[in-house]
Structure 1
Amino acid sequence: MTHGTMLEPGAGRPIVGGGLNATLKIAGGSDAITSTFEVIVPPGYDVGAHYHTHGEELFYVVSGQVELFAFEPAIRSKTHWSMWVSRDGRSPLHAGPGSLMHVPAGCPHAFRNTTDEPAVMLFQAAPAGHEDYFEELAKLMAGSRGQLDPDEVAKLRLRHDVHQITTLASPN
């Protein structure tokens, strides 16, 4: 007989460090093809524009406000990704509760919190295993004291099929 998973609020495996605050709700593996997280996005956090050659992601804003981006820009300029525009005129979305972003493999994307309040997002990654990236990133951020080494972040991301376009910014 197959059973699903039911979790009480707050349940799951915490992944925290250096401003990263996520709870792994469902780990990928034999029972799940995706990893599912609740992520608290602190003020000032910017994941940086990036893409995955094999991964697909889904972000759902539960509370707060974030800026979301998921398209190929007309020009990958040196300006911040929030200034990018697609060939068909799309620009990043100022997103509140109920907003959703689906990211297919190969699509540049990012999110950031420019407000003074934390935001909460439900996040799914397929294939499963993104929890390994989050755990390594949390350790790196915890040891950085707010000064992330861009080379270390780039190495970590490449190990996990995260191809960085712009820089990750942790909160001050």
Structure 2
Amino acid sequence: MTDLIVPAGAGRKLITPAQEVTFKATEEMGSSVSIFEVIVPPGFDVGAHVHDDAQEFFYVLDGELDLLCFEPTERTTDSWHNWVSATGDRVIRAGEGSCMFVPPGTPHAFRNATDRPVKMLFECLPSPIHEDYFEEIAEIWSRGTAVDPAAVAEMRKRYDVQQLTPLRYEPPAARIPGQGTHQQSGR
């Protein structure tokens, strides 16, 4: 049974320019839920998206993330940062100990708008949909070439991800005053 205890810092790691993902509980271990520790770098914005079948849970371990988890009165396609729900819900800046549960069919997003990495615990049900997703997106990032948005869009469909606003990743050192945010097509 000791194979089921994952010490701090242990687990299979996938490291990309946009995230570091450590697998903590997987289908291979017999888990029906996939559990990951994720390091979200400054400047990473996953973009608003929705899953038809998957449900997710995010728990901020260290740092602060902007979180969204509601249906907005209007789904704008450029950014989710100013979305508002019919009941007045808005994006929340969530610190350590904050969590977000995402039922299927609910638009959601997170971004690191701070200047330091954020550590979060991320769970997805059913297993292994996000395990396979992270493996494939890491492969795309590792190619070191421009990411083909059409290929990523097709991949996301296979993994129950309907992207509503673009994923953006621009490290703080790469930001140039007066210019917009660089868009990437991977997560």
TM-score (norm 2): 0.85
Q: Secondary structure at the match of 1:82?
A: coil
Deviations 1:93-143 (A, max 9, x none): 101100100000000001010111000000000000111101111222233
Deviation string, structure 1 residues 73-107 (Cα, Å, up to 9, x no partner)? 01112441011000000001101100100000000
State the SS of the aligned residue for 1:94: strand
Q: Which residue of 1 aligns with 2:13?
A: 14
Q: What percentage of residue pairs aligned between the two structures are identical?
A: 45
Secondary structure of 2:47's match? coil
Which structure is richer in relative contact order (CA contacts within 8 A, separation 6 or more)?
Answer: 1
- For the residue of structure 2 that corresponds to 1:83, the secondary structure is coil
Query: Hey, what's the Cα distance between the residues in 1 that align with 2:121 and 2:141?
Result: 21
| Change over 3 Å in CA distance of 1:148–1:9 after alignment to 2 | same
**Contiguous gaps of at least 5 residues in structure 1:** none
Q: Map of 1:58-97 to 2, 5 A cutoff?
A: 58-97=57-96
Q: Residues 4 and 29 of structure 2 are in contact (CA less than 8 Å); yes or no, is this contact kept in structure 1?
A: no
- Match for residue 52 of structure 1? 51
What are the within-5 Å matches in structure 2 for residues 1-172 of structure 1?
A: 5-29=4-28, 31-129=30-128, 130-144=130-144, 147-172=146-171
Contact 2:78 2:166 in 1 (8 A): no
Report the residue type matching 1:82 in the other structure. H
Matched length: 170
Alignment partners' CA distance in 2, 1:158 and 1:125: 16
- Deviation, 1:148, is 3.7
Distance 2:108 2:70 in 1: 7
Residues 36-82 of structure 1: CA deviation (Å, up to 9, x unaligned)? 00000001111111011000000000001110101000111244101
> Is the 8 Å Cα contact of residues 69 and 91 (structure 1) preserved in structure 2?
yes
Amino acid at match of 2:23: L
